[in-house]
Amino acid sequence: MTIAPLVVIALVFGAVAAVVADRGGTASFTALGGLALVVVMGMVLPVAPGDSMLAGEPVRIDGYVRLFLVFGGVGGLLLMLLHAVAPPDPSAPALGPRHAHVGAAFLPFLGGAALALAIPSPLPALVAATAAGLAGMLAAARDATDIPEPIDSARQQGATRPAAVRTMSGRLGADVLRSAVALALAVSALALLAGGADVIAGEPVGVGAAALGLAAAVGLRIGIVPLHAHAARLAESAVHGAVPILSIWGPTLFAVVALAAVQAAVVPLGLPLSMERGIIAGLGLVTVALAGLGALVQDDVDHVVAYSILQDAGFAMLAFTATDAAGWGAGRTWLLVFAISKTALLGWSAVLVRTFGTRSLADLHGWARRAPLLGVALAVVAVATVGVPGFASFDARLALVSAPLGEPLRWLVLGASLVTLLVHGRLLVIGLLEPTGQVRAGADERLRRLRPDPRRRVSVSARETFNLNRVPVAAGLAIALALVAFSAGADLFGLHAAAAENLPAALPGGQPSTVPAATFRPVPTESPPASSPLATASPPVAS
């Protein structure tokens, strides 16, 4: 079966759902968006792995593509339901229902992702991945403004952030520009490697520059240090419904496709590229360390989640330092586990904030006592992210560290990457402290029933019962999302094996020689006289 119907349905449903949501039909939107996500997943599951043709070019759906699309679809569906069910956000009533954005962002993303992952050729796949990532921008841009928020007045009143935070359009515009720059950088590097292979092959500087360009494009998308500030602010301030695509799934998809490009264009050359790989690994490790530190010291829950996303995304840069096919499976496994586990963390934070009406951890002391289901959800997310030996997440983390680093440094870096455990642990410990007044005032997770009233309509009873139980239902959905992340991290669906298969073939075109070319030819300082017999013999050329 070809992927064309899947792509078309995802894009058309996404467009229709966005129009419905824009016109205020939230109930219709929820039904439509949910139905579309289910239809898309229903189309992915029965697809048998194999090749087909699309617009004259071969496309391939394998196990990893199916897992990526299903995890993305399930994550988007649960997140949309979670936003629809959770109590209304008291801090941003002007922004309207957030769940409308989730479906509007996820549906076109899934269509683009199916295309990007199924096209074996890395150049069109990079373009498709960029287009899919920008789908989230369509949802977020509808709420953007360039009117500055009254931050000072809000802070004077004790609030961590202003009451109704809108994304600044300048910030979104910069992110669009950043995506385009990343695309141009990656395409240029890849085109140079493919088209100019005969010239730069064997020239470590040329290949290294191209490899650095590909890695820089990925770093630009995911926001590694020192390009992290913008990515962190976007994750903090964009509408919650669009953040999963903007900060997690979009960059993840781009990184998966760029990893395929590296495996097809750089790794087959067999060059050591020690300096370039050292730079990439160094930037990734600095991101892991600094973003982990940032997540540990922040007070705002959204900030903690944003830095936690950056920390684990930075770890994915290590996949671009592999000199052989070992980085392929581990990198793709890590990227998918990262995407679904951070989506679950975002779902958890959305329910937490909307249950207790604050983002400040100082005001959220004792949240886990009041909402134990949310505590369970956070613990499951932590296990899914870190894993234990035998889990896909843990093994991928170990493999990524092992490839570029030697023995003593390897364990140090592994330890630094496990700071994410401290971040989750800190949130849990705060939740077990003595509850604050604001937490006590928040709704608990007990199921409630209306007092019987025979005069009340059934529909009214159902609606009011639902409104009474928004908090426990939303917490249940957060747990469901965490369990989906756990299933990915624990390799319950064969993610590790699926990620390691179908290594990309070397790029077509002039295949370069891996023998280093002579780059230095000594010139004789003194020319022998014309009469000398040496003048007729060609000087030896250093190789």
Which one of 83, 98, 99, 166 is in contact with another protein (CB under 8 A)?
A: 166
CA 193, 199, 200, 206 torsion-angle sign: negative
Which one of 42, 50, 150, 170 is in contact with another protein (CB under 8 A)?
A: 170
517 forms part of the interface with another protein (CB under 8 A): no
Rounded to 5 degrees, what are φ and ψ at 336? -70, -40
Give min distance, CB of 460 to another protein, in A: 28
65 forms part of the interface with another protein (CB under 8 A): no
355 forms part of the interface with another protein (CB under 8 A): no
Give min distance, CB of 259 to another protein, in A: 19
CA 15, 19, 21, 25 torsion-angle sign: negative
Q: Are 225 and 311 in contact (CB under 8 A)?
A: no
179 forms part of the interface with another protein (CB under 8 A): yes
Candidate segments 186-194, 264-272, 290-298, 341-349, binder of another protein by CB under 8 A:
186-194
Distances (CA, A) of 509 to 120, 198, 267: 15, 10, 16
168 forms part of the interface with another protein (CB under 8 A): yes
Which one of 8, 176, 450, 462 is in contact with another protein (CB under 8 A)?
A: 176
Residues 332, 323: Cα–Cα separation, whole Å? 15
**Chain-centroid distance, C-alpha 76:** 13
Residues 197, 322: Cα–Cα separation, whole Å? 20
Residues 186, 184: Cα–Cα separation, whole Å? 6
199 forms part of the interface with another protein (CB under 8 A): yes
Residues 32, 14: Cα–Cα separation, whole Å? 9
Q: Are 336 and 67 in contact (CB under 8 A)?
A: yes
Q: Which is nearer to another protein, 250 or 329 (CB)?
A: 250
| Residues in 86-115 that interact with another protein by CB under 8 A | 108, 112, 115
Distances (CA, A) of 281 to 153, 404, 427: 43, 7, 29
Give min distance, CB of 114 to another protein, in A: 12
Give min distance, CB of 77 to another protein, in A: 22
Residues 411, 406: Cα–Cα separation, whole Å? 9
326 forms part of the interface with another protein (CB under 8 A): no
Residues 531, 543: Cα–Cα separation, whole Å? 28
Q: Are 224 and 314 in contact (CB under 8 A)?
A: yes
Candidate segments 187-195, 267-275, 399-407, 478-486, binder of another protein by CB under 8 A:
187-195
Which one of 171, 230, 369, 426 is in contact with another protein (CB under 8 A)?
A: 171
Give min distance, CB of 82 to another protein, in A: 24
Please compute Rg for the chain using Cα positions.
26
Which one of 5, 272, 509, 528 is in contact with another protein (CB under 8 A)?
A: 509
118 forms part of the interface with another protein (CB under 8 A): no
Candidate segments 116-124, 151-159, 266-274, 413-421, binder of another protein by CB under 8 A:
116-124
Q: Are 82 and 476 in contact (CB under 8 A)?
A: no
| Residues in 134-153 that interact with another protein by CB under 8 A | 134-135, 137-138, 141-148
Q: Which is nearer to another protein, 212 or 482 (CB)?
A: 212
Give min distance, CB of 452 to another protein, in A: 41
214 forms part of the interface with another protein (CB under 8 A): no
Query: 478-512 burial string, b = 16+ CB within 10 Å, else e?
Result: bbbbbbbbbbbbbbebebbebbbebebebbeeeeb
233 forms part of the interface with another protein (CB under 8 A): no
Q: Which is nearer to another protein, 81 or 218 (CB)?
A: 218
With tokens 């076109």, the residue in question is 108
340 forms part of the interface with another protein (CB under 8 A): no
Which amino acid, 161? R
184 forms part of the interface with another protein (CB under 8 A): yes
Residues that bind another protein (CB under 8 A): 54-57, 108, 112, 115, 119, 121, 123-124, 127-128, 130-131, 134-135, 137-138, 141-148, 166, 168-174, 176-177, 179-181, 183-184, 187-188, 191-192, 194-196, 198-199, 509
